[in-house]
Structure 1
Amino acid sequence: MTLRKALLLSASLLGPSLALAAPTEKAKPLAGKTGAPHRANAHPAVAKPAPHKTVPQSVQARNTETIAVTARRTDLAFVAAQHLPDADTRLSAERLIQRGVVTLRGLERVAPNLTIQSVNGTASNNFYLRGVGFNDFTQNNIPTVMTYFDDVPFAFSTLSSGLMFDLADVTVAPGPVGTTHGQSDTGGEIRFRTADPTSTWHYGASQDIASYARSRSEAYISGPIAKGLDFRLAGQIRQGGGWQTDPQNGAHLGDADSYALRGKLRWHSDDNRTTILLSGHFVQDNSQVVTSQAVHRLIGSAALPHLGQQQAEWSMRPQFANLIGRPEGLKPSEHNQFWGWDLHMDHDFGVAKLTSVTAFETGRQGEYTDQDGTSRAEADTYRTISANAFTQELRLGSSNPDSRLQWVVGAFYQRSRMKQRFFFDYTDYAARGYMMATSFSMNQESTSEFGHVSYRLPHNVTLFAGLLHEIDDRSLPGLTSEIFGGKTTAFHGESTAAAQFAGQVGVSWQATKTTLVYYKMSKGFKPGGFSANNTQIQAQLDPFGPETVLTYEFGFKSDPIPNVLRLNGAAFYNDFHGQQVVGTVLIPNYGPLSEITNVPKSESWGFEGTVEFHPIRHVFVTQNIGWQRGNYQDFLNVNRAATNAAYAKTGVWRAVNSNFAGVDNGQPKLTLNGQAEWRQPLTSALGLDVGPDWSYRGSQAIAVGGTGFYRLPPYFLLGAHATLRPSSGKWEATIYASNLLNRSFFESGGMATTTYFYIPGPPRFIGGRISYGF
């Protein structure tokens, strides 16, 4: 079969769900095509540089119903994005499936300078991009790196748990954001675009079975209901996969138990100038969590357990189970329910396009963790969370992507509410010996106005600039700390407000047909908030202030040998004021506690790059590299290591303060990830793809200035896959392995009351996946 015939066949099978990029827009992926082959993508030759986009392309793509097929094949995806002045990492749905990225945390294995870590092994995550981020253990503050699903920002990142299925693509955007859409932030954003309804019938399913009885099942159906009205329904079920055991009794831990549904309904007018898209989703997650391994005893003399890579200890006293209203013998686990809806409305007036995005997200969580990492009840924790967020965005922007002048103006509103209650079992901690609970609420409201403009000058030079103004108001109306059988302490409410400008200015030059260089300066803004965990004194509720950063970035994108070699890279420098980090506060006669605080002055710098190489007919190689360094320039805080050491000698808590000026920020200096693949035709209708993938992550501090056990060790992981797929793209069958060398490593860490702990990463998994789609 000739290439042109294969492309025409693929287009006839996929219908309107396949929209191949024009010179000025990003290729729309094979919407919902389970296991769609990368080699089936095609793009026309780029005749001229694309203007700088100011309207999110995920919105532009929703109205695409035309099919443009050419015989010219490209083996390097996202060709049109090579003409956009950004350092974004764009990932197709196929690349994610191929690398086994099925959760948020997996993204750090396919993007440079990105770290996503679980909070104590749970479904809650902390994000770091270019080293910018912080450990928000209560998850009640705006994340440093914002997560979007279909243009909807998630104020509480946990609410996005379980939604990574039936995807179209993902974009990881580093650096300050907020002048073109959504919400301001200092670290960047991760934008997920899920597959949209199609106007012709499509359906598909996949089944993934792996070691430790892990099972992942997905299915979708998409098609027309009536003229101009289409729908899509997709679902996912995850079960099994638990790999931890308790050496004391052989109990098993870590099995997934969750399901999720997403439905979409799209209507468009006959002239395709008006589109309305209504989406809804539901997630139920009763999965067990990965439990910590204690690595150092801070308080007490009880020996720490000696554990193997796949072992852990935990406990649940019947008295604690009765207190929290959960069954006796409860294992560390989630009991979460999330649901939400969003409404997108677009209308093209001809001279401009108006977009409205309305969304509501809510969740209920019940989460049990054994944070001390032993069978003793020294820091057993159960928390309940009730949270919701309403967002509304309006933007008006250019409707002609070929115009020299591109512009967008808009406004964004967010209202969020949260209630949390932390239960602690300290019964076996001699200095306390009780159970207690901390309860608090949080109210938040913010508004912002933004605008962005770009103009393409002669000689392929484009100037662009953006401005944002944001007002954020949040309060903690009251917090109580109750010792059961003892006293209850009520703290008075706190509030904080901030109003800041953010912006961007830059220039790009399309030096040649295949080479773009750019320079931009961006100011980012992130509002302040509260540390609200384990509060003992009123001062702990003092709000921390806003974070601002001025980022200088120089980058380039180049396809020096089209369809053979791609080189993209960017260098950056961040100048922070009030950077938000987790510092330490010492409570007299109690001990050190973590507290989010502001660093008056700090800086970071580094680079990231991507090389895609197709040196010979069958070989395809992708390599991402991220490198960053940073230090505090002025930061007076409790020195946790010195304070702990002084307590070990004297038995008395006394704060040892240090100025951490010149101390490294503790983020991984080097991250590497990539893959190589050999694509071999077996017959005229069947091909085999086989190859390894790899990732490396440098050491990371879990406390300011941390050394020794205060740092997570570096690690290297190797994986591999082999995939059979027909030229039609209707099905594929894969065998794969992750952590092929069965390396012992740790993904995150922290401090409990009496111990420091690490969260271990998974051992070797070997599995198989089969999928079918039409």
Structure 2
Amino acid sequence: MKTYLGRTAIGAIVAATLCAPAYAQVSENGDGSIVVTAQRREQNAQDVGIALSVIGSDELEQRGVTNVNQLQDATPSLEIEPAFGGGAAQFRLRGVGFQDYASNNSPTVGVYVNEVAYPVPVMTQGLIFDVARVEVLRGPQGTLYGRNTTGGAVNFTTNKPTDHFTAGGMVEYGRFDAVRGEAYVSGPITEGINLRVSGATQQGGAYQYNRDTGEEIGDANRWAGRALLAIEPVGSGFSGLLDFHYGRDTSEATGLYLLNDLPTQAGAGPVIPADTDRFATGWGLSPQLLADTELSVGDVPGVNNETWGASANLSYDFGSVTLTSVTAYDWLHREQFADWDSSASVEADTFFGSDVDVFAQEVRLSNSQPGPLTWVVGAYYSQQNLDERYYSDFVDVYGTYARVNYAQKVESISGFGQLEYAFSPRFKAIAGLRYEYEKRQLQGFGSAFGGAQALPPTDVSTSMKPLTGKLAFEFTPSDDLLLYASASKGTKSGGFTTYNTGNESGIEPFAPETLYAYEVGFKANPSRTFQINGSFFYYDYRDQQVLSAVWGDNGAVGRFANAPKSSIWGTELEVVVTPAEGVTVTQYVGYKKGRYLEFFDLDVPASNLVGEAVYTDRAHTDIPFPNLSLGGSMRYAIPMGDYTLTPSATYSFRDEYPSWLGETFDIAAYFVVNAELQLAPTNGPWTLSLWGRNIFNEKYDLTRNYFTSADIAQPARPVSYGLRFSIDY
């Protein structure tokens, strides 16, 4: 069956390729400098006094990046952990993160596609394709963006419609019968109206097996498409970009393996030995979960997701000012079955049924005339609705089955603005403010265990009215050196812990967190062959949101708590060197360290022993996250007559990721290397690439955790290799 699916996908993609990726470069000026839109206008990246990394489509292809989680190996100080190996991404940038496997809380890092925010983490897990560049902005964002974030922002910019006909495609086949393909066509419909249609698929790739039956698990089955319509009548001052996109994902899950022996049925059943092969896994499905869902006997862990959305980015240049409107609507239907005990025993089987819709409207006004003053002001409104079913089957370990049902509504309105004033050609000051009102309502949260209502439908709400902002200075003592310093404040929403609980105190809201960020940095181009950027930051963290527990009427209840005060500091360095014609070497390094300064945390074992709340002082203990990250790339374009042969490699290192759960769940440090050999005619339309990823077969985990009685981990993909063919007309 796998071979049939693979051949079918290959046939479909090759047909699209032959009739017409999508390897767009990072947008460049005529002098080769990288153009970014981090500040809502086109600028040379080296002229922007913000710590940011730019990843172009070539590097995305070489690293095999197909979803946002894989960006952690392409930029410093970024970790994106798949909670329990599932669809809830846990973002952490410069140590600012939020560990939550539920669907309802906001992330610390904002993800945007063509200026549209994806405020619910599970919405970020779609297929990445036809992307021109990714900008990773570090530090609080809010004076230029519709949403407020404490950690930073990840901005995806897709390839835009062209005013001349172009078409292309890519097909890739690799180990484990993995198939990936893209195709696009772009060109004018009439004068001033251009259209681009693109699509992508990812198939196969299973590298794990059931330890009992040998059945494979992990095949991808993802499809996505996008249509962009650009409208820009000549001489009218008007421009518009309409974006329509759709995605379908019925992929199998990446399985979990057992770190330790699993005594099933609370010790009354057989003991499943710890897995010596990290690619072994297991799963089971109870009659109760079958009855409550649309799952069928024989189904394996995986997803059945569908997404679609549309946006309109419209602007009009009045001559001295430009008015911009961004209207967006996105919808997601998610069904996800996961086996968190990694066995046929029903110890921790879960199901998420989520329906999400988000409407957003942003309006901005900015000056469009050159001069010492540059400014932008805007207003943002957003409404997001979530209907969630979360079922947990513990029948073999606790003899019960838990159902959680709730709805959540989030409404946000804000005003923001930023101005820059150049006191001289060498010195500039920047100031920004943001005021926001947000209300979160948890509606009808109810839980039941074994069919008995534990918590009747309950309504809880929380709101915030933060005033945040930014003050920065930029100094260019020479044309090839930028120095900057900034102080900014960001806020992340409060929220609710929506796990299994029979106690109303378990869903009491936790408070928003606030980050005061201080940063100094430089961007330098000492010569045409050498570029170096560096930054140092210090974060004063207030009310940091930490997964912990609170003491209620019925004992300890798992819930997010607020650590009153903590701090994070660190430094980053990024280098680009072109020592010879056709040779490019890049390197990044990031180091960060964090500590709790004030935090009395509930000691759950001690509290249960004495029957009342017992707290432990965690002041001056480390915040658990990796300290060191580094990576880079090497590329050498070798002319060979009418062809160019380009060997290249990328590499990344992530330090040990300590866990607040204990040493068993620490993720060991890892070093991963990818390599590629590319052949292309010097002036021809096609490229053939032989690639290898994780070529030294580094054995490492993406996440570790436990649920009920099982200590589990998700393994990263082993060494893989394959061929890719692309063509552009």
Fold shared by both chains (TM-score > 0.5): yes
SS of residue matched to 1:97: helix
Distance 1:349 1:119 in 2: 48
| Aligned: 1:424 with 2:392 | yes
| 1:413–1:448 Cα contact (<8 Å) kept | yes
Q: Which stretch shows the higher mean deviation, 497-506 or 295-304? A: 295-304
Alignment of 1:388-537 (within 5 A): 388-400=357-369, 402-429=370-397, 432-537=398-503
1:43 maps to which of 30, 34, 39: 30
1:542-567 per-position Cα deviation (integer Å, ceiling 9, x unaligned): 101011111000010011122x1111
* Superposed displacement of residue 483, structure 1: 2.7
Q: Which residue of structure 2 aligns with residue 385 of structure 1?
A: 354
Q: Which stretch shows the higher mean deviation, 707-716 or 546-555? A: 707-716
Distance 2:551 2:68 in 1: 34
Q: Which residue of structure 1 aligns with residue 17 of structure 2?
A: none
| 2:165–2:187 Cα contact (<8 Å) kept | yes
1:567-590 per-position Cα deviation (integer Å, ceiling 9, x unaligned): 111110000111112223467888
Shift of the 383–200 alpha-carbon distance from structure 1 to 2, 3 Å rule, reads: same
SS of residue matched to 1:700: coil
SS of residue matched to 2:49: coil
Distance 1:526 1:317 in 2: 39
| Aligned: 1:768 with 2:723 | yes
Distance 1:41 1:716 in 2: 31
SS of residue matched to 2:281: coil
Give the letter aligned to residue 372 of structure 2.
R
Q: Which residue of structure 1 aligns with residue 509 of structure 2?
A: 543
1:690 maps to which of 626, 643, 647: 647
1:664 maps to which of 609, 622, 635: 622
* Superposed displacement of residue 109, structure 1: 1.0
| 2:256–2:713 Cα contact (<8 Å) kept | yes
Shift of the 556–304 alpha-carbon distance from structure 1 to 2, 3 Å rule, reads: farther
1:125-151 per-position Cα deviation (integer Å, ceiling 9, x unaligned): 111100101112112111100000000
| 1:530–1:544 Cα contact (<8 Å) kept | yes
* Superposed displacement of residue 163, structure 1: 4.1
1:430-454 per-position Cα deviation (integer Å, ceiling 9, x unaligned): xx21222111110110111011000
SS of residue matched to 1:135: coil
Q: What is the root-mean-square deviation of aligned Cα atoms in Å?
A: 2.4
| 1:55–1:408 Cα contact (<8 Å) kept | no
Q: Which residue of structure 1 aligns with residue 273 of structure 2?
A: 305
| 2:705–2:712 Cα contact (<8 Å) kept | yes
* Superposed displacement of residue 594, structure 1: 4.1
* Superposed displacement of residue 475, structure 1: 0.8
Shift of the 53–765 alpha-carbon distance from structure 1 to 2, 3 Å rule, reads: closer
Distance 1:125 1:54 in 2: 23
Distance 1:487 1:270 in 2: 64
| 1:627–1:670 Cα contact (<8 Å) kept | yes
Give the letter aligned to residue 455 of structure 1.
Y
| 1:83–1:510 Cα contact (<8 Å) kept | no
Shift of the 132–55 alpha-carbon distance from structure 1 to 2, 3 Å rule, reads: closer
Q: Which residue of structure 2 aligns with residue 224 of structure 1?
A: 188
Distance 2:379 2:332 in 1: 26
* Superposed displacement of residue 203, structure 1: 0.6
Alignment of 1:198-237 (within 5 A): 198-237=162-201
| 2:261–2:273 Cα contact (<8 Å) kept | no
Distance 1:548 1:405 in 2: 30
SS of residue matched to 1:158: helix
Q: Which residue of structure 2 aligns with residue 7 of structure 1?
A: none
More strand by share: 2
SS of residue matched to 1:666: coil
| 2:191–2:233 Cα contact (<8 Å) kept | no
Distance 2:300 2:252 in 1: 7
| 2:257–2:278 Cα contact (<8 Å) kept | no
Q: Which residue of structure 1 aligns with residue 540 of structure 2?
A: 575
* Superposed displacement of residue 491, structure 1: 4.3
Distance 2:553 2:378 in 1: 49
Q: Which residue of structure 1 aligns with residue 523 of structure 2?
A: 557
| 2:503–2:554 Cα contact (<8 Å) kept | no
SS of residue matched to 1:758: strand
2:297 maps to which of 328, 341, 359: 328
1:93-148 per-position Cα deviation (integer Å, ceiling 9, x unaligned): 22211222121111111110001111222233111100101112112111100000
| Aligned: 1:172 with 2:147 | no
Distance 1:324 1:687 in 2: 54
| 1:382–1:422 Cα contact (<8 Å) kept | yes
SS of residue matched to 1:212: helix
Shift of the 653–101 alpha-carbon distance from structure 1 to 2, 3 Å rule, reads: farther
Give the letter aligned to residue 647 of structure 2.
V
| 1:296–1:709 Cα contact (<8 Å) kept | no
Shift of the 37–261 alpha-carbon distance from structure 1 to 2, 3 Å rule, reads: closer
2:632 maps to which of 656, 671, 674: 674
1:162-185 per-position Cα deviation (integer Å, ceiling 9, x unaligned): 241111111000101010122111
| Aligned: 1:751 with 2:716 | no
SS of residue matched to 1:709: helix
Distance 1:127 1:472 in 2: 22
Distance 1:208 1:255 in 2: 15
* Superposed displacement of residue 707, structure 1: 3.9
Alignment of 1:27-106 (within 5 A): 34-36=22-24, 43-44=30-31, 55-57=39-41, 80-106=44-70
Q: How many residues align?
A: 705
Q: Which residue of structure 1 aligns with residue 10 of structure 2?
A: none
Shift of the 253–347 alpha-carbon distance from structure 1 to 2, 3 Å rule, reads: same
Q: Which residue of structure 1 aligns with residue 285 of structure 2?
A: 316
1:663-708 per-position Cα deviation (integer Å, ceiling 9, x unaligned): 111010001111112221111x3111113221111122332xx541
Give the letter aligned to residue 469 of structure 2.
G
Give the letter aligned to residue 718 of structure 2.
P
SS of residue matched to 2:58: helix
Give the letter aligned to residue 336 of structure 1.
N
Give the letter aligned to residue 113 of structure 2.
F
TM-score, normalised with respect to structure 2? 0.92
* Superposed displacement of residue 314, structure 1: 1.5
| Aligned: 1:601 with 2:601 | no
1:312-363 per-position Cα deviation (integer Å, ceiling 9, x unaligned): 1211134432332310121110010011100110101110111000000111
| Aligned: 1:238 with 2:207 | no
1:568-627 per-position Cα deviation (integer Å, ceiling 9, x unaligned): 11110000111112223467888x764222111010000111111122334321111111
1:373 maps to which of 339, 342, 348: 342
1:132 maps to which of 96, 100, 121: 96
Give the letter aligned to residue 640 of structure 2.
L
Distance 1:109 1:725 in 2: 27
* Superposed displacement of residue 760, structure 1: 1.3
